[in-house]
C-alpha cells in the first residue's frame, strides 16, 4: 500500500539559509498567552478598592471638637502629644480613608488651617474628626 506522502516523508528537515535556527524557547514564546485588554485587570482592582465616605459632624460633635482644639492650642507651648483621626481624600475616586496620627503638636497655622507636628507632619483642621490626648483626659472637667 502506497501513501500520499511517501515521496517526501524521509526527506531531511529544511533549514533556511537566510534566517538563523530558532530556539525551542523562542518558538514556545510565540504561542504564550497574552492580555488583549491591557490594563483591564488593574481597572477592575481599582473599581473593587473600597473607600470611606467623609463623615459630617453634627453641631454638637463639632462644638466638642472645637473645644478640644482650643484647649490644645492654649497649651501649644508645652508641645502636647495628641492623637488625631483625620480623613485623607482618595486621588483616584470618590471618598478616601481615615487614619490615626500621634505626635507632638508644634504650631497652628491659622492661614492654612493646619496643625503642624514636631516631625513636620501637617494635618488640615477641616479633615480632623477626633482628637485624643493625655492633656485632655487630665482636664476633662474643663471641656
Please write the tens of the pLDDT for every residue from 10-59. Answer: 888 888 889 888 888 988 888 877 767 778 888 888 777 778 888 899 99
- For domain 59-138, the CATH class is mainly beta
Nearest to 49 by CA among 94, 87, 102: 94
Please, which residues have CB within 8 angstroms of residue 95's CB and are 6 or more apart in sequence? 51, 52, 53, 54, 89
pTM of this prediction exceeds 0.85: no
Q: Give the mean pLDDT of the chain.
A: 87
Amino acid at each position: 500500500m502506497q501513501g500520499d506522502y511517501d515521496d517526501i516523508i524521509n526527506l531531511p528537515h529544511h533549514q533556511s539559509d537566510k534566517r538563523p535556527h530558532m530556539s525551542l524557547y523562542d518558538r514556545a514564546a510565540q504561542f504564550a498567552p497574552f492580555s488583549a485588554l491591557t490594563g483591564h485587570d488593574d481597572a477592575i482592582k481599582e473599581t473593587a478598592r473600597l473607600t470611606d465616605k467623609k463623615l459630617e459632624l453634627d453641631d454638637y460633635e463639632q462644638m466638642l471638637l472645637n473645644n478640644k482644639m482650643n484647649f490644645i492650642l492654649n497649651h501649644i507651648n508645652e508641645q502636647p502629644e495628641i492623637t488625631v483621626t483625620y480623613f485623607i481624600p482618595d486621588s483616584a475616586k470618590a471618598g478616601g480613608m481615615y487614619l490615626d496620627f500621634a505626635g507632638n503638636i508644634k504650631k497652628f497655622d491659622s492661614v492654612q488651617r493646619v496643625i503642624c507636628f514636631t516631625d513636620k507632619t501637617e494635618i488640615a483642621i477641616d479633615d480632623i474628626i477626633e482628637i485624643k490626648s493625655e492633656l485632655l483626659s487630665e482636664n476633662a472637667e474643663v471641656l
